[in-house]
Amino acid sequence: MTKILVVADIKQGELKGSTAELLSKAGSLGTEKAVVAIGSNLSGLVPDLVNAGSDTQYIADDPGLELFSAGPYAACVAEAARQFAADLVWFGFSESGKAAAPRVAARLGAACATEITEVDISGESIAIVRPAIANKVVQRVKVNTGQLVAVIRAGAFEATEGNSGTENVVQLSPPEPDLKAVIKELVSDASGEIDLADADIVVSVGRGAKDQAGVDLVKDLATDLNAGFGSSRAMVDGGLMAHNKQVGQTGKIVAPSLYVAVGISGAIQHLAGMNGSKVILAVNKDPEAPIFNVTDYGIVGDLFDVMPILREEIKKVRA
Amino acid sequence: MKILTTVKKVVDVELTIRVQDGSIVEDGLQYLINAWDENAVEAAVQLKENNNAETTLVSIGGGDNTDMIRKCYAMGIEKGIHVEDPALDKADSSVYAKVLKKVFELGAYDLILTGKQAQDTDNGQAGIMLAEYLELPCVSNVVNIEVMDDSHVKVSRLGDAGTEILEVELPAVITVSDSINEPRLPQMRGIMMAKKKPIETMDLSALGISVEEVGGDTPTSEIVEFMASQTRAAGQKFEGDAADITAKVVDLLANEANVI
């Protein structure tokens, strides 16, 4: 039987939703399912890992693994993959996953694919589907090695109910630290803010907002909706928004239930980062803006007029 | 410090890309330097200017890469190597990484700079795999590089929890984000000088490596088919009185899409 090892997505000690999504998909394919969790102080996470749908839990729990370091992290994943004899190793979509997956593949001699959206397993053969060229085309890729390390694109798989697994914890010995690329400091993203990758609704601001006052106007809508607050590249380059807020190929790829693009014209690099969203709303004063080619609902208007009305109307329907 | 920058020629992603019978239609396509590699070239040239580095670029495949390599020369790169071999037609990231490994070993470089991914594949693998094959440290998605001394650099990368600051021992592989810099426009003097500079073109045998050694015949994966991207149909667009259309859209969000 095919064996899938899912790399647990853990942030600030919490198991993130992508882990259950990937394990649900593995379950629907009828495979054996294990998870590998890497970090510090993980003992409390085991019930969550079981609930997410894993039947074996490889745990690398060590104070030295508190901060992400691609080499040791990849070593843990590769070791779990060897012990489990995994045919597929799946990372959820994250910068850590993108950094570690090619290392794991190189160590295992496996094939590697990033941003995959679908997988076909028939007998021994594995094929995957993934976007390329800024989402302008889709590739079908055949795996020649019988083993694949993949990063799953955000939102590609859905979590299903009733996928709970069984507890079978295997402790991994802590890896050697990377003495040649030493993490000295983590400058955390502003705490208390909603993580774009997890948010059910994302509101993003673009050049149309002009200045800080415009940004604040759009941020108010994000706050009302309890949404993640993102940005186009232009606002990051202009210094009005932080790097970690950028949605797009450079930055975060998001797939929320609702994506609201305010004052964003829709460069392809931005579209490639959000066009997996379930519903897209755009507000832009240019009726010809490319963003309207991908939106479900478009409001042609000046955001400075529209924002206060939009907030008021949303408050009304939510009351 | 000797810097090797890898540069790939890719399809211009701003143009329309059509797919027919499982392949990309070549007609009407244009090719240019991978945007993220251009950031790597700029980073290399800045290190040359500020820290007396020597800069070499290597490009694999792409056919006639003369214009692209000359552009990099005009930006300030000093030496260019182009590896072209029909045996690399099926190359995946792992094959590219093995060819780059050989190039690295012939040059005794201190630092390899590359874009975080190539725009034609969006794989983001070759640089990281290269580091694994060479057993060198690697940091990806880097937005800042500072030289500490002859054998160390301090880099910042955008990670999941924030900006990670690392001290890295050289030699090392660094893949860069486009947030690292704004590539310069080549100036006329540089463009004129670039025309006179030679490009060292070689095939695998000239490089001293066999197709088997790089896995050219047996890539770990291969693209079997291209398909058109499922484009989202443009939905309803409302123009007119801001209050009216906004109220209408909110009603649709609540009662048709059920998302608020």
pLDDT over threshold 70, residue B191: yes
pLDDT over threshold 90, residue B30: yes
Q: What is the pLDDT of residue A243?
A: 86
Instruction: For chain A, give every residue range classified as CATH 3.40.50.620.
Output: 3-171
What does the pLDDT average to over B8-20? 95
pLDDT, chain A, mean: 95
CATH fold label, B2-207: Rossmann fold (3.40.50)
pLDDT over threshold 90, residue B47: yes
Q: What is the pLDDT of residue A300?
A: 98
What does the pLDDT average to over B195-203? 96
CB-CB neighbours of B87 under 10 Å? 16
Q: Which of B13, B219, B234 faces A134 most closely, judged by CB atoms?
A: B13
What's the gap in Å between the CA of B56 and the closest CA on chain A? 24
pLDDT bracket for residue A291 (50, 70, 90): very high
Interface confidence, given as ipTM, is 0.94
A72: its two tokens: 């040791």
The residue behind tokens 């999504």 is A21
pLDDT over threshold 80, residue A189: no
What's the gap in Å between the CA of A33 and the closest CA on chain B? 23
Following CA atoms A125, A129, A132, A135 in sequence, which dihedral angle do they give, to the nearest 10 degrees? 180
Q: What secondary structure letter does DSSP report for B72?
A: H
pLDDT over threshold 90, residue B241: yes
Model confidence pLDDT, tens digit, residues A294-306: 999 999 999 999 9
What's the gap in Å between the CA of A181 and the closest CA on chain B? 4
**CB contact (8 A) between residue B97 and residue A94:** no
Q: What is the pLDDT of residue B184?
A: 98
What does the pLDDT average to over A130-141? 95
Q: What is the interface size between A and B, counted as CB pairs within 8 Å?
A: 276
Q: Which of B11, B17, B143 faces A243 most closely, judged by CB atoms?
A: B143
> Where along chain B do its domains lie?
2-207
What does the pLDDT average to over B125-143? 98
Rounded to an integer, what distance in angstroms lies between the CA atom of residue A272 and that of residue A250?
A: 10
> A162-166: long-range contacts (C-beta < 8 A, 24 or more apart)?
A163/A20, A163/A23, A163/A24, A163/A27, A163/A52, A163/A53, A164/A50, A164/A51, A164/A53, A165/A23, A165/A33, A165/A50, A165/A51, A165/A52, A165/A53, A165/A54, A165/A55, A166/A50, A166/A55
B203: its two tokens: 């095939």
pLDDT bracket for residue B31 (50, 70, 90): very high
**CB contact (8 A) between residue A310 and residue B238:** no
% of chain B surpassing 70 pLDDT: 100
pLDDT over threshold 80, residue B231: no
Residues in chain A closer than 8 A to B24 (CB atoms): 137
**CB contact (8 A) between residue B220 and residue A145:** yes
Q: What is the pLDDT of residue B62?
A: 93
Residues in chain A closer than 8 A to B220 (CB atoms): 105, 109-112, 143-145
What does the pLDDT average to over A225-253? 93
- The 3-class secondary structure across chain A, one letter per residue, is CCEEEEECCEECCEECHHHHHHHHHHHHCCCEEEEEEEECCCHHHHHHHHHCCCCEEEEEECHHHCCCCHHHHHHHHHHHHHHHCCCEEEECCCHHHHHHHHHHHHHHCCEEEEEECEEEEECCEEEEEEEECCCCEEEEEEECCCCEEEEECCCCCCCCCCCCCCCCEEECCCCCCCCCEEEEEEEECCCCCCCCCCCCEEEEECHHHCCHHHHHHHHHHHHHCCCEEEECHHHHHCCCCCHHHEECCCCECCCCCEEEEECCCCCHHHHCCCCCCCEEEEEECCCCCHHHHCCCEEEECCHHHHHHHHHHHHHHHHC
Q: Which of A132, A179, A181 faces B121 most closely, judged by CB atoms?
A: A132
pLDDT bracket for residue A191 (50, 70, 90): low
pLDDT over threshold 80, residue A185: yes
B7: which residues sit within 8 A by CB, 6+ positions away?
B33, B34, B37, B38, B40, B41, B57, B58, B59, B68, B69, B72
Q: Which of B168, B238, B247 faces A181 most closely, judged by CB atoms?
A: B168
Q: How far is CA B16 from the centre of its chain?
A: 21
**CB contact (8 A) between residue B257 and residue A296:** yes
Q: Does A224 touch chain B (CB under 8 A)?
A: no
Q: Which of B136, B162, B250 faces A314 most closely, judged by CB atoms?
A: B250
CATH fold label, A201-318: Rossmann fold (3.40.50)
Class of domain A3-171: alpha beta
pLDDT over threshold 80, residue A255: yes
**CB contact (8 A) between residue B228 and residue A257:** no
Residues in chain A closer than 8 A to B134 (CB atoms): none
Cα–Cα nearest to B3, from B49, B36, B34, B35: B49
Q: What is the pLDDT of residue A319?
A: 87
pLDDT bracket for residue A190 (50, 70, 90): low
A 72-91 residues inside an 8 A Cβ radius of B: none
